[in-house]
Structure 1
């Protein structure tokens, strides 16, 4: 690194080297092994492209890539088609109960997509409540929402809140005088939306599209549960790696390389959009919700309420079904009971919920400590070393969870770094996966703290480290804790890496829900899902309490 000699061995550069080593070991090294396995013949050790050739020359394999793009493109477009108008209507028109509506939107976003898949199986599966109703009323032979339509439905209802939150934030900074000027020139409401509002928020729309695209293309749980014959890349990767019959580590590694290349490309596009098509707006006259009357008001309320109801419906379904009587957790019968909770939460050997909380809290502790240090180093101690650290810490943001899980098993499945099957590998995976979000939020916080405050503490006799620990950290902590709460929700909802790395001793709620659904134990799955949903809701309320906010910005 090109650093002045006097700064070479100070405490900050030593810290940066230690943290960089951590990320090199747990991010770069595992990904390097994935790349190596994809291009090296396991028998001869020679360079080979046979795995990549196998993928692109066999329709059974490359069609999964087409399927992933089909799902992702359709979900992204539909998410914008829902998120953009809802954000505009919520900002333009006084929607009755708008705070509750916004909270429900956020809850639906925080819930894992595969819970939505499970809930829609209960509603529109082959034996779902709505399926039976539709078939009996309309004399149809509807076989459920499995396959492409079901995947799109679940992921759209789970992804549009992300678009909503981004665009809602952009609309807050939009100067309403531009809209009023267009109105005075004779533009209709619809013309103003398409010629004024949408062009102004288009950079935000494009940025949210890329994030939805990246999230959906890496999703594993939803297509695994309801995809059936419609397979996507994450499902193919999981099957190739985990299959007891016909599994191929080298081919699974090649699939990982392909999906990593795609996500890196998407990330670069996102950065290009952010850097070249973004601008700041100062809302001298912010857009304020106004009361509407007549058909416009009715339409706005119906559109918002019905969309949000569909989005939150999975959470309602899992909570409701968790209290139904059942036989063995598989067949629901008339009446209500606590059977599902007795079979799960009150089971003698049940360590699933304690595992989830213990592993999640340990990961969050790592995230908080490293997040604060990394953000401080990259903002206040900028040099070639910390710049490298800033770049490498973003890698997990663009790596799908299943790929990271497989990479960890490649890297830490033998001595001297035998971590597979332990709680440590789960904790590190969780921390690595969610670290970029906390780093970015912490960086934003520390950028708002004037360097003169730290300089004043040093001028009064405090050392740099003392000024950091006694002045900067306390000032950062409220925002960091609030960000950590939201990271906590995503950590306990993690499935794609957990399903690769867990053992019976480290099973978490998400893994338990997934395995119970696969086995057809829907009562047990509902009980576990309810616990996860309620944990997310309590975490969200705690976030509101600590920040004094009534919304979440992204």
Structure 2
């Protein structure tokens, strides 16, 4: 206990020598409390009160006695669990094939694997209806089937897997690529078969990454709102949708908050397990030797089986997204598939303000979110101060919080003075800043851990302060992480729906809400046109950002060379 107190005292004394650091930390902690902790507290508080604001468990008693709501919780856990298992399985298949099999078209497979990340998360659901619904291209037009169960478990599960499979692939690709091939060489030299090498060497070393990926997909799936809203249907209730309907349809904030707490708890438990238990169980096997095992890890027969499976998955993903582009140029999908540009005219007539609002909000929140992520990452990795672990946990907490919970929390927290923000531009921007800052923090922490602190220490020795070191030394060194944070924040701000649908107003609307509205009205072609414009905006932004980053790196190299 004395040692702990001494350490705290030393940290506090060091902080007092740097008042600018104290001010920065105070501002960050206040911001995190107001825009992350406070809304969650409001959700918990209102769910435990009655109409007179007295403590009460009646709302939970009502929920627990409602079979439909209990079924929604079970369905949510079921879909999240199946998505985690199947999404991780497909992601591992993809990653293993690309890293350990000598197959053609590897660049094509990698491109296909990340395509869903730049599309709105519910586009897969829209496309599944167009392909397998009542007037679906495949079910109705090709096979004459009009009773395919597209609404419910199977349609929703397909959409969820397509949406979150890229997360599994990216994570597991990194895991498998860092497993030293010399371990497999040693096993082969001991006369092990390929199957034994996989089961005894590769798979055990992948277990921490697999477990972490499954938990991440569980959290992402449980938090998803767009796909269930389109595909779940009334016979297959999902908790995130039910919480939304309680508030917007029944105007029952307490029941919506109670359902949000139900939704939050399993997500939070999975996040803590993933972050603080499984996240530490990693095996490092990189030796620096070239990969000489790639050609013999997989037999010729297995290679073509793996290639075929990856090709089937890739073609299905392509079909999903090509359908969206095709649908945007048809008059009435499923009824009149003649070519037309009227859908885009309709979008710019009806949705012009939504397009402008979405761009304004995304372009405002993106740089702030990315920069805040880099600052917090710098503080966590490079500074010593009391409450560092608290700062890290709270700043990453929004990763585990379902968007539905965040949206309900913001309604409750910012619906009265002195923080009356409901319906304003500010509430949407603040939501996006603090909702997506965890990705910038994670990227910044990962890259800073690879940067030698001696570089920054040299600047301090020459008399630089924290602001100069961060802006002149650290930030240029972590440009790739900053770029990743910018891309992710912009894409998510453009495609967000779960929290944002609670926060839009007559003055500020979003394209994603328009897409959902068109889908609900049965105007699938118009929804596709909205989606195509949204996708084009995202692609243009990423392309411009890449050009800027390339020029920035070139300029930095020139400056270093001249010095």
Q: Any residues of structure 2 matched to 1:315-326 within 5 Å, and which?
A: 315-326=321-332
1:526 aligned onto 2:534: no
Aligned length: 538
The residue that corresponds to 1:438 in the other structure is 440
Give the conservation status (yes or no) of the 8 Å contact 1:482–1:546: no
Flag structure 1 segments of 5+ consecutive residues without an equivalent: 549-554
Residue 68 of structure 1 aligns to a residue whose secondary structure is helix
1:375 corresponds in structure 2 to 377
Q: Which residue of 2 aligns with 1:499?
A: 501
**Residues 227-266 of structure 1 aligned to structure 2 (within 5 Å):** 227-228=232-233, 229-243=235-249, 246-266=250-270
Q: Which of the residues 195, 199, 207 maps onto 1:194?
A: 199
C-alpha displacement of 1:271: 2.4
Match of 2:112 among 79, 104, 110: 104
Query: How far 1:215 sits from its partner (Å)?
Result: 0.3
Q: Which moved more, 1:262-271 or 1:378-387?
A: 378-387
Q: Per-residue deviation at 1:545?
A: 6.1
- Of 264-273 and 201-210, deviating more is 264-273
SS at match of 1:496: coil
Cα distance change on mapping 1:28 and 1:141 into 2, 3 Å = closer
The residue aligned with 1:267 is 271
Can you list the C-alpha shifts for 1:190-243, whole angstroms capped at 9, x where unaligned?
A: 332222211111110000000000000111111110111211110111011111
Q: State the distance in 1 between where 2:474 and 2:184 align.
A: 41
2:210 to 205, 216, 224: 205
Moved more, 466-475 or 428-437: 466-475
**Which residue in 1 is equivalent to 2:158?**
153
Q: Which residue of 1 aligns with 2:450?
A: 448
Structure 2 unaligned regions, length at least 5 = 1-7, 551-563
The 1:273–1:545 alpha-carbon spacing in structure 2 relative to 1, beyond 3 Å, is: farther
Preserved CA contact (<8 Å) 1:171 1:287:
no
Verify: 1:88 aligned to 2:96, yes or no.
yes
Residue in 2 that maps onto 1:167: 172
The Cα shift of 1:546 comes to: 6.9
How far the C-alpha of 1:343 sits from its partner, in A, is 0.6
1:453-492 deviation digits (Å, cap 9, x = unpaired) = 2232233233333233222223333431233113321221
Asked if residue 16 in structure 1 is aligned to residue 11 in structure 2, the reply is: no
Aligned CA distance change for structure 1 residues 544 and 164 (closer, same or farther; 3 Å): farther
Question: Displacement of 1:24 after TM fit?
Answer: 0.8
Change (3 A) 1:272 1:395: closer
Give the C-alpha shift of residue 295 in structure 1: 4.0
**1:152, CA displacement in angstroms?**
0.7
Residues 38 and 250 in structure 1, CA contact (< 8 A), matched pair in contact too: yes
| Pair 456,80 (structure 1): closer, same or farther in 2 beyond 3 Å | closer
Give the drift of 1:112.
Answer: 2.9
Q: What is the distance in 2 between the residues matched to 1:341 and 1:122?
A: 18
Aligned to 1:552: none
* Residue number among 53, 74, 81 corresponding to 1:73 in the alignment: 81
> Is the counterpart of residue 303 in structure 1 residue 305 in structure 2?
no
Distance 1:142 1:287 in 2: 52
State the alpha-carbon separation in 1 of the partners of residues 79 and 127 from structure 2. 20
How many Å apart are 1:349 and its aligned residue? 6.5
Q: Tell whether the 8 Å contact from 1:12 to 1:377 is kept in structure 2 after alignment.
A: no
Secondary structure of the 1:335 match is: strand
